[in-house]
Amino acid sequence: MLNAKSRHHLLQRIFWNPVGARFARAFIRFSRKFDVVVRNYSLNGETNGERWLLTLMDPAPTVIDVGFHDGASTAEMLKARPQGAVVGFDPSRFAAERYAADFVQDARVTFVNQGLAAEPGELEFHDYENMCNSLAPRKELPGEVPTTYKVPITTLDSWCAANGIDHVNFMKIDAEGYDLHVLEGAKRLLEEQKVDLFMFEFASGWTASKRYLWEVDEYFAPLPYKLYHLFNGFLTPLTYEVERDSCTTRYAMYVGVSDQRMARGDIPVRDYGL
């Protein structure tokens, strides 16, 4: 049996040459596709389970769409539950235009042209004229320069209290790295299990915000929620591991479920060790 040092040297000799490198590149391509398709480190809403998750909503749910953007998620929510009501939050000018053009006549949709964070106030918004608009400055492409402008900020706790919303069946958060800030501003709702399910995107925006998955794990440790990795048709318990959390973290969708909602027994949970 070769020791670790010998195994490393052997593999380096095998792959650190033109022929071996071709095999290595092919393996890397396969590995990346495997991670996306099988291990579901994917942001593809058509196949990663986002559509399935909507089937867990109640027949006439109150839904919150954080990161309204062009309203595509809101449209999918209403398609899944036509009797539902959606409150969309987005501080961008583009989102306000899309709401006015496509949803203003729909009584089921309420649009709030404000950002959500842990504290109310005013923040600088970075508008890249794409789906990466954020309250945190991004550096996605060389030479990319956003339009910046001040936007009003509220918290989910205060907005829901002021507007008589005492229960949220489902909340989607796509705040381009500001997702944990949003959840921190919903502390009362979460403590009282007023949000049944929520889903957030973990992607490159988190690096811009200097927030990490371990912070989510710690934030929810004392709260009556469990965190899961979303799959298409089931959830897998999220066990935090440091290799999942860095600037090279694989993109994924994560879900939080209140203990009360999980106790209903209709949400499939499986752990295949993926």
The residues spanned by each domain of the chain are 42-262
Q: Which residues contact 18 (CB under 8 A, 6 or more apart)?
A: none
64: left (phi over 0), alpha (psi -120 to 50) or beta: beta
Q: How many secondary structure helices (H) and strands (E) does the chain include? A: 11, 11
Residues in the chain: 274
Q: Nearest 5°: phi and psi at 183? A: -65, -35
Residue 72's contacts (CB-CB under 8 Å, 6 or more residues apart) are: none
CB-side exposure of 217: number of CA atoms within 13 Å?
A: 12
Distance CA 174, CA 67 (A): 5
From first to last of its 274 residues, the chain has per-residue pLDDT tens of 778 898 899 888 988 999 999 999 999 999 989 888 988 888 888 888 999 999 999 999 999 999 999 999 999 999 999 999 999 999 999 999 999 999 999 999 999 999 999 999 999 999 887 777 888 887 766 677 888 999 999 999 999 999 999 999 999 999 988 999 999 999 999 999 999 999 999 988 888 888 888 899 999 999 999 999 999 999 999 988 776 555 556 789 999 999 999 999 999 999 988 7
Q: What's domain 42-262's architecture? A: 3-Layer(aba) Sandwich (3.40)
pLDDT given at position 75: 97
**How far is the CA of 109 from the CAs of 100, 105, 227, 269, in angstroms?**
11, 9, 28, 31
- Are the CB atoms for 110 and 164 separated by under 8 Å? no
Q: Which stretches of 128-178 are assigned E, i.e. beta strand?
A: 147-154, 168-173
Dist. CA 72–CA 47, nearest whole Å: 16
Q: Which residues contact 71 (CB under 8 A, 6 or more apart)?
A: 88, 95, 98, 99, 102, 103, 109
Angle at 215 between CA 211 and CA 221, to 5 degrees: 160
Reduced to 3 states (helix: H, G, I; strand: E, B; else coil), residue 229 is: strand
Q: Cα(191)–Cα(158) distance, rounded to whole angstroms?
A: 14
Helix H, strand E, coil C: the string for 89-116 is: ECCCHHHHHHHHHHCCCCCCEEEECCEE
